[in-house]
Every structure is written in C-alpha cells, then in structure tokens.
Chain A
Amino acid sequence: MSTVVERQTPGRYARLMTTLLRETLRLDVWVNRLYPTDFNPLYYTGGLSNLFLFTLVLSGIFLFFYYDASLGEAFASVQYITDRVPYGGIVRGVHRYAADGFIVAILLHLLRNWFTDRHLFARDNPWISGMFLLLFGGFIGFTGYQLVWDERAQLLTSMFVAMLRSIPAFGATLTRLFIGGLGISDGTLVRILFLHIGPATALYAFLWWHYVRLRHPKIWPPGVWVLFCVGLVFLLAGVVPMTRETIPAAAPAAHPTSFPMDVFFLIPFWLLNFLPAGVVVLLLVALFVGGLAIPYASRRETPVEMGVRHSGVAQVIDGNCTGCELCYYDCPYNAIVMVPSPGPGLSKAAANRSLLAVVIESRCVECGICIGACPFEALELPKFLERDVLRQVAEALRPGSGQAVRA
C-alpha cells in the first residue's frame, strides 16, 4: 500500500484489517498458480452467488408446481416429488445443494470484499444491499426447511415461535402474524410458502440495488465455473440423495427433541441449545446492525487514517470537455453523467459540444479512471494533477538522473 500520508499509530482494528487484506491477497497468489487469473473463482464470488440463485429459482419453480401447502398434504407432496415425479428427487437435491452453495458463495463474497476494503466510502451501497441479501437469503433457507413439514420443520417452527415470543412488546403480535392465528393450521403453511417465495423475489429487488452503482457488474462467473458448479450440484443431488435423512412426517402428537443439523442455515437454532431465545434474537439483530455499520463505524473511516492516497473527487474542466462520453462509459461506478451542455467549451474541440460531463461527488471513489479515459484533458484529480505526473516523468528523465548505472 502506498503511504502517501503516514498514519499515526494505527488502531488494533486497522492493523487486523491490513493483515486480513494481505492474507486474502496471499491466498490469491496460491489460487492464481492453479488457475489463470481470468478463472480465479475468488474473483467471481458474486457471479457464483448469482449462478446458484438462478439455479435455485429454476428448481424452485419446478418444485412449486407439485407442492401442496396444507398440513395434511405438505409432507406427502414432498414425498411424491421425491419418489414419483421423474427426476423429482434430483431437482429437490439440486434445490438443496444449490442453497448451500449460495450461502457459501455469498459469505465468501462478503468476507473478500470486506477484507479488501471494497465496501468503503462511496462504495457502501453494495455493502448495505448485500447485508439485506444475506438476511433475506438466510430467512429463505429457514422457511425452506419448514416447507417439508417433517418433524424437523415442526420443531423449527416451535423454536422460531419461541424466538418471536421473546421479542418484547411485539412478540405476541408477530407470532400471530407468522403462524396465522392462535395455532398452527393450514394457513400457517400457506404463509410459510409465501415467506419462502416472497423474499426470494425481493432478492432480485435488492440485487438491483446491489448493481445499480456498478457499470458492467460481473454477474456470471466464467463459463467453465458455471458448468462446474451446476455439474457439482447435480452430482451431489444424485450421489447424496435427499432421502438419506429419513425424518418422519410432522404430527401434532409427536414431540421431537432433535433433528439433523444443517450448518448453512440452521446455526441460530443450534445456538438455542445454549442460549435463551431472547439472547439469540438479540445476537442476530446485533449481527445485522453491526454488519450495516461496518463501512461507517470503524476507526479507519477516512483515507488519511487508512494511510491510502486521497486524491480528491474528480473534477471536470468545463472549458475542455467536448461531451464525448468516454469517461461516462469507463467510470466503473456510474459516477459520471452527461447533461445537456449549457454553453460551448473554450477549447477548439469543445466548441461544438452538445453534452457536458458532470461528476456525482457522492459516487466518486477517486480512482482516476476517468482521467485516463479523457483524451481532452478535461478531467483532473484535484490533489494529483496531470502536471504533477508529468513533473515526475520529467524529473525521472532529466539527463544524469537515471544514468548513474551504465552497462
């Protein structure tokens, strides 16, 4: 990292984050030895998440057509899908394992972008929408386990109701809203089905927010990774079929006390073994709020504190701008918009312009990519001017400066 500004005694968090950054990039060096950088899967965690989500949506639509949301029929319809529908067991397995892949991919995506400082300053929109994607994704996984309506689902429902009840003031109302009345009924499963599919639809709204400030987001991983991941999911669905867990159907008389654990979605329920429900709820809320605060609440809030270059928001030089849109196409964060030009520019090239570039300051990350894009010298970083660069170049080439060593 450049140390344009020497920072004074970095805090513990800052040092930790620097270490994590270095270790993340060291891991990349290893992965890059296995794969060319174009295929490094760690560079495509976002694309992989989207791929798994797409797989989930397609397999979910298939399952939806066979699922029957009522207490008596839910389990039977799932059994019917698994045993009688052609390839139904495979599709169910795909839905399950793609969900695990989705959680793994978004957690990798979160950690990588956290550790490499790609969530800071003007780049907080993807982070905040990403936290909502994680929250909704986890909740969708949980309702997915309930839809099967076996003993695990029954136990999960009672545990979730216990967690809802522990919320002060609103607990009873939330519980009634969730189970649709005073007791579990057919209406409950209809609600759970909606709470499975509704938030899944909302994921796409959050994805729009996730992408809105990015030009050319990497939505899909490289083709070979698409084939590999889809193939892996299908292979798992065939080799480790869903029927391996034989959980009996839920029955009002049954009082299950344990269920096969799933580390991807059910960790909060595992915590209930040790902690009271209220504490688990509090922990989840704290995690979510803490996650939202990560880009803002750290001590290394400013570039100066982080010891990175602070070049200032890019500035358009009105007189030189020709309205050619090159910077507009190259800005990776959509921070440049073209507006109708209020008047002609000063330079000859800018005399007949019809558009003018404007930098939206809140979106600018000060990377300077627009400066490289502009052939008309109409953009500058205020604290690192073209003049400064050319002076450095001239100094480097001054006769005698680099000539001490001869061949």
Chain B
Amino acid sequence: MTQVPKVIGFICDWSVDLKPLSDGGRLRELPNVRVVQVPCSGFVRPDWLEEALNRGADGVFVTGCPYGDCLNREGNFLMRDRIDQLQRRLQRRKVDTARIGMLAFGLHDGAAFLAEVKAFVDRIAVLPPAQPARTAGRPAVAQPAGTPEGERT
C-alpha cells in the first residue's frame, strides 16, 4: 500500500487531552488521522464505524478513558464489548479486524496514545487494500451477532 491509510478516531471528551495533539480535527503528528470528539466513548454507535469503513476509511478506532475510570462509569467497557461484536461481524465479511480498534487513555496519556495510534496505523498500512465501495446498504443490525451470514440482507 503506497498511500498513508486514512484513519478516523472517535475520541471521548474526557479521555486523552487533544488540545496539544490535534489541529483542525486531525492529529498534528499523524495528519492522516482525523478525530471526531464525542461526549463519551459509549456514545459511538458501531454502525458509524462500519459506515466510515464503507465510505473509504482504512481504519477506525475509538478512544475512551482508562478501563475502570470512565467518567460515565461504564462507557468504555460497553464500547469495548460492542467493538468486539463488530469485529466478529465484520470478520465474516472478510474485513480485517485490525481495521477497528478500541483504545483507552487518560487525560495525561498523550504520548502513549500517539504511540498506540501510530502502531494502529502501521498495522493497517501493511494490509492489502480494502475492497472499494462495498455495497453499502445499512447493515442489518437488528440481527443478533450469531446470525449466519446468509441470512443477512
């Protein structure tokens, strides 16, 4: 892959301090990483991660507070579970699970956060390019994660 992968990160307001790290919605050190700030990592709907991949992002990740210290008590744990489910679901569609990540960093963990994001981007960069324009269509999210692939719309 010759191109720097496009990555979108959903970042909780209360987790890592973005002020010194970001500039106009992207990380200063990794301009290919765009950030969307959300009120809590648990706010992110797994659909949106899928949507971002469908629209051409090479990877998406969510950043919450350290596990055990979510401002809203459970947001990061819930998000971790939802991302696990999403990874299992997308794996059956031959999407590499490395493209979706869950990170957990506190206010002062800026350096560790950047290192982790870099590692995430590097993991994606070596993947073969994703099939462009997967037939979008809203995923049949109503179905439980165990539903066989054939029954999906």
Please state if B8 and A367 are interface contacts (CB–CB under 8 Å): no
Q: Of the 9-residue stretches B32-40, B93-101, B128-136, which lies at the interface with chain A?
A: B32-40
The distance from the CB of A6 to the nearest CB of chain B, in whole angstroms, is 12
Please state if A397 and B40 are interface contacts (CB–CB under 8 Å): no
- What residues of A have a CB within 8 angstroms of the CB of B8 in the complex? 393, 396-397
Answer whether residue A311 sits at the interface, using C-beta atoms and an 8 A cutoff: yes
Please state if B74 and A365 are interface contacts (CB–CB under 8 Å): no
Please state if A369 and B42 are interface contacts (CB–CB under 8 Å): yes
**Do A393 and B52 contact each other (CB < 8 Å), given the known contacts A28-B106, A368-B42, A405-B31?**
yes
**Do A367 and B37 contact each other (CB < 8 Å), given the known contacts A43-B68, A309-B13?**
no
> How far is B151's CA from A155's CA once the two chains are assembled, in angstroms?
79
> How far is B69's CA from A349's CA once the two chains are assembled, in angstroms?
36
Answer whether residue A25 sits at the interface, using C-beta atoms and an 8 A cutoff: yes
Answer whether residue A404 sits at the interface, using C-beta atoms and an 8 A cutoff: yes
Number of B residues, CB within 8 Å of A: 52
Please state if B48 and A43 are interface contacts (CB–CB under 8 Å): no
Answer whether residue B47 sits at the interface, using C-beta atoms and an 8 A cutoff: yes
The distance from the CB of B14 to the nearest CB of chain A, in whole angstroms, is 7
Write the chain B residue with the least CB distance to A394: B55
Please state if B66 and A37 are interface contacts (CB–CB under 8 Å): yes
The distance from the CB of B106 to the nearest CB of chain A, in whole angstroms, is 5
**Do A29 and B109 contact each other (CB < 8 Å), given the known contacts A332-B74, A368-B40, A369-B40?**
yes
Please state if A349 and B42 are interface contacts (CB–CB under 8 Å): no
Segment 49-77 of B: residues with Cβ below 8 Å from A: 51-52, 55-57, 66-69, 71-75
- Within the complex, which residue of B43, B57, B142 is in contact with A367, where a contact is CB–CB below 8 Å? B43
Answer whether residue A118 sits at the interface, using C-beta atoms and an 8 A cutoff: yes
Segment 3-22 of B: residues with Cβ below 8 Å from A: 3-4, 6, 8, 13-14, 17-19
Answer whether residue B45 sits at the interface, using C-beta atoms and an 8 A cutoff: yes
Q: Of the 9-residue stretches A92-100, A243-251, A374-382, which lies at the interface with chain B?
A: A374-382
Please state if B25 and A396 are interface contacts (CB–CB under 8 Å): yes
Please state if B142 and A376 are interface contacts (CB–CB under 8 Å): yes
Answer whether residue A253 sits at the interface, using C-beta atoms and an 8 A cutoff: no
Please state if A37 and B39 are interface contacts (CB–CB under 8 Å): no
Please state if A369 and B72 are interface contacts (CB–CB under 8 Å): yes
- Within the complex, which residue of B51, B55, B74, B141 is in contact with A375, where a contact is CB–CB below 8 Å? B141
Q: Of the 9-residue stretches A82-90, A101-109, A384-392, which lies at the interface with chain B?
A: A384-392
Please state if B34 and A384 are interface contacts (CB–CB under 8 Å): no
The distance from the CB of A99 to the nearest CB of chain B, in whole angstroms, is 26
Answer whether residue A372 sits at the interface, using C-beta atoms and an 8 A cutoff: yes
- What residues of A have a CB within 8 angstroms of the CB of B25 in the complex? 392, 396
**Do A25 and B107 contact each other (CB < 8 Å), given the known contacts A369-B40, A393-B8?**
yes
Please state if B48 and A37 are interface contacts (CB–CB under 8 Å): no
Please state if B45 and A25 are interface contacts (CB–CB under 8 Å): no
- What residues of A have a CB within 8 angstroms of the CB of B71 in the complex? 116-118, 367
- What residues of B have a CB within 8 angstroms of the CB of A29 in the complex? 106, 108-109
The distance from the CB of A73 to the nearest CB of chain B, in whole angstroms, is 48
- Within the complex, which residue of B31, B37, B52 is in contact with A397, where a contact is CB–CB below 8 Å? B52
Please state if B6 and A402 are interface contacts (CB–CB under 8 Å): yes
Segment 109-131 of A: residues with Cβ below 8 Å from B: 116-118
The distance from the CB of B11 to the nearest CB of chain A, in whole angstroms, is 9
Between B14, B51, B56, B106, the greatest number of chain A beta carbons within 10 A of the residue's beta carbon is seen for: B14
Segment 150-194 of A: residues with Cβ below 8 Å from B: none
**Do A367 and B31 contact each other (CB < 8 Å), given the known contacts A22-B108, A397-B52?**
no
Please state if A1 and B13 are interface contacts (CB–CB under 8 Å): yes
Answer whether residue B79 sits at the interface, using C-beta atoms and an 8 A cutoff: yes
- What residues of A have a CB within 8 angstroms of the CB of B90 in the complex? none
Please state if B2 and A37 are interface contacts (CB–CB under 8 Å): no
> How far is B138's CA from A349's CA once the two chains are assembled, in angstroms?
14
Please state if B36 and A375 are interface contacts (CB–CB under 8 Å): no
> How far is B43's CA from A396's CA once the two chains are assembled, in angstroms?
19
Answer whether residue B26 sits at the interface, using C-beta atoms and an 8 A cutoff: yes
The distance from the CB of B98 to the nearest CB of chain A, in whole angstroms, is 18
Please state if B108 and A25 are interface contacts (CB–CB under 8 Å): yes
> How far is B62's CA from A5's CA once the two chains are assembled, in angstroms?
23
Please state if B34 and A1 are interface contacts (CB–CB under 8 Å): no
> How far is B57's CA from A403's CA once the two chains are assembled, in angstroms?
12
> How far is B67's CA from A349's CA once the two chains are assembled, in angstroms?
34
**Do A393 and B55 contact each other (CB < 8 Å), given the known contacts A372-B42, A372-B78?**
yes
**Do A38 and B68 contact each other (CB < 8 Å), given the known contacts A375-B142, A376-B142, A402-B26?**
yes
Please state if B43 and A371 are interface contacts (CB–CB under 8 Å): yes
Please state if B72 and A396 are interface contacts (CB–CB under 8 Å): no
A-B contacts, 26 listed (Cβ < 8 Å): A2-B37, A25-B107, A26-B107, A32-B66, A37-B67, A44-B68, A116-B71, A308-B13, A309-B37, A322-B142, A367-B39, A369-B42, A371-B43, A372-B75, A373-B42, A374-B45, A375-B45, A386-B45, A386-B48, A393-B55, A396-B34, A397-B52, A397-B55, A402-B6, A403-B3, A407-B3
The 4 closest A-B pairs by CB, nearest first: A368-B43, A369-B42, A396-B34, A375-B141
Known: A368-B38, A373-B78. 5 other contacts (CB 8 A): A369-B43, A372-B45, A372-B82, A392-B36, A397-B57
